[in-house]
């Protein structure tokens, strides 16, 4: 009988392999009652790998502090964007998708792309890739139309960008 760590590792590798090789099928086969703990676990493992790889790449003056911020940012931004996207989806489409399912799409997509995001300048590739995976998940798992998924993603990015810009410009003034 496999131990818990082996089962977690097997789930992680299996999910990652399926997301990378057959994302449409992966998101189509998400169970109706997605275990949010599995999606969070997947995201957290990827966030730890992302943080550790980034930490090895740079010689930070305060590595514990920087790595803590990177870890919280990797997980926190996924949650914030999922909440924002879910709210937009509920308001604009009137779809009744459970937040667990919606967050799981964001967690799996973000977790898969975090593994390459630590490489310098790869954000140019990983961000669009993450949003493509999220769009695929919204279409395949939440049954949104492609236009609805694109609208949720575009409005989420625009609203978050405007929020960050407003906070940053207020702070500078």
- Predicted TM-score (pTM) of the model is 0.90
What angle is formed at CA 33 by the lines to CA 30 and CA 37, rounded to 5 degrees? 85
pLDDT digits (tens, 9 = 90+) for 142-151: 999 999 999 9
Q: Give the per-residue pLDDT at 173.
A: 53
Q: Residue 1: pLDDT above 50?
A: no
CB count in 10 Å sphere of residue 68: 12
Task: Compute the half-sphere exposure of residue 93: CA atoms within 13 Å on the CB side of its CA.
Answer: 24
Query: Is 113 in contact with 133 (CB distance < 8 Å)?
Result: yes
Chain-centroid distance, C-alpha 110:
3
pLDDT digits (tens, 9 = 90+) for 98-125: 899 999 999 999 999 999 988 888 889 9
Cα 110 to Cα 156: distance, rounded to the nearest angstrom: 15
Q: Give the per-residue pLDDT at 45.
A: 94
């Amino acid at each position: 009988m496999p131990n818990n760590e082996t089962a977690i590792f097997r789930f992680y590798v299996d999910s990652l392999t399926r997301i990378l090789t057959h994302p449409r099928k992966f998101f189509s086969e998400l169970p109706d009652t997605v275990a949010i703990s599995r999606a969070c676990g997947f995201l957290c493992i990827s966030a730890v790998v992302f943080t550790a790889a980034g930490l090895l790449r740079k010689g930070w003056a305060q590595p514990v502090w920087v790595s803590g911020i990177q870890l919280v940012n990797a997980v926190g931004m996924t949650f914030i964007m999922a909440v924002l996207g879910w709210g937009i989806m509920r308001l604009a489409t009137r779809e009744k998708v459970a937040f667990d399912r919606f967050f799981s799409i964001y967690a799996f997509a973000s977790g898969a792309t975090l593994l390459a995001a630590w490489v310098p300048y790869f954000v140019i590739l990983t961000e669009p890739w993450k949003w493509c995976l999220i769009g695929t998940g919204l279409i395949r798992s939440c049954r949104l139309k492609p236009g609805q998924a694109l609208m949720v993603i575009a409005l989420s990015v625009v609203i978050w960008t405007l929020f960050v810009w407003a906070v940053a410009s207020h702070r500078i003034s």
